[in-house]
Structure 1
Amino acid sequence: MEKFTQLTGVAAPLPMVNVDTDMIIPARYLKTIKRTGLGAGLFASMRFDDEGRERPDFVLNQPAWRNAKILIAGENFGCGSSREHAPWALLDYGIRCVIAPSFADIFYNNCFKNGVLPIVLPQEQVDRLQQAAENGANATFTIDLPSQTIEMPDGERVAFEVEAFRKECLLNGWDDIGLTLRQAGDIDDYEQRQRTGQPWLWAS
C-alpha cells in the first residue's frame, strides 16, 4: 500500500447525503478482483448517461474538478453494501482523501485498509470546505497527516482527528498483509520450532 503523508490537490465538492457504495461503483463493475481499472466506473451512473456519454453537470466531468484528488462529501458517505471495490475505485481514479460529516463503518474501515484517508468533520466545517472548493475552482487543498491538518486555498488550517494506529498504518503504508509481514521473523521462528517439535505436522 502506498504511504500517505501529505496530499496536495484539487477538492471536488459532492454535497450529497447517503451516497452508497453502488453509487460509488455500480455492481456491474464487481466482476473483477483486480484493484486497477475501476476508476473508469467511479460514480458511473452519475458521470455517464445510458449511451456512455459524460453528464456535463456532474462535478468530476467539469474541467475544474476532473483531476480532483480530494472529495468533500455529505453525511453517511459509503453506506450500503460492504464492497471493497468502492475505495478501490476512488483510489484508481486518483482520489486519496474523502472528507464528510460521517461515513458508513465498513466503508470507513475499508478506506484505511487501502490507503484512502477518510476524514470526519462537523457539518459546518464540511460546508465551509465545500464552499471553498466551489468558489475556488482549480484551487488546491493540502492534507497533512502528520500534523492532522487541512490547509484551505486561502491558507486557513482546519484540524482533524484520526486514530493513532490507523494514522501509523497510513504513514507507513501498512495494509493487513503488511502488518502481518512485520512479524515475519517471529512467524519463521514459530514454524521452525514446530518443525522440530511436531515434525508430523509438516509431513508431505
Structure 2
Amino acid sequence: MMQLQPAAILVLVILMGCVTSPPDEFRGRVTKVVDGDTFDVEGLGRVRLADVDCPEMDTEAGRAAANYTVYWLFGRTVWLDIDDRRGRDDYGRWISVVYLEENGAPNRAMNFNRMIVDSGHAVVKDFKDNEFNPAEWWNLSSLQPVGCAYVGSARSSRYHYPDCEWAEKISPDNLVCFSSPSEARSKGYMPCRVCKPP
C-alpha cells in the first residue's frame, strides 16, 4: 500500500480548502461608509461589493444609496466572501460578497449585495474578472423593480413572465424589464411560446 508523504498530505489539505469558499473568509465591523458599494471593515480595510454598482455620490441617487448602506452596515459586524481570483481591485479594495451577521454567524438570507440591488439603490454589473457570478446567488425574479411584471433579454425578441424557465436563463447584464405586455410589444418584443404571457 502506498503511503503519502507529509508534503503531499499538506498539499491535499490546501487544495481541499480552495474548493469551497464559505461566506466567512473574514469577519469584521464596518467603521466607515464611503458610498453605496464601498466601505471600510475593521482589521481588513476598504471593501467593494462584488458585481453591483451604485450611482456616484455627486447625485441624489448616490447619496440615497450611501444612506442605505449606512443604515444596514455602519457599526455592524459583517461576514465577507472575498474574491479568490483577484482579491483586490485596481484601487486596493477587497472585492466581496457581504453577509450580515445573525447570532454570531453569517446570515445567508441577508446577502447585502442582493439587498442593495433589491432596494433599487444599485444595479447588477457582472464583472468577469472576479470569481463571482451574480446569477448563482440571486434569483433573477427578485431583481425586478416593483411593478415589473414581464422580462426580456437584450439579445432576444421574446418577453416572459419572470418565473418562466427561459427568463431564468437571462444574464443579469441582458435583463430588460417591462411593466406591461403593451410596453414589451411597443419595443418590438413578442410573447414567449412557453409561458405564453398576454
Alignment TM-score, normalising by the size of structure 2: 0.27
More helix by share: 1
More strand by share: 2
Alignment TM-score, normalising by the size of structure 1: 0.27
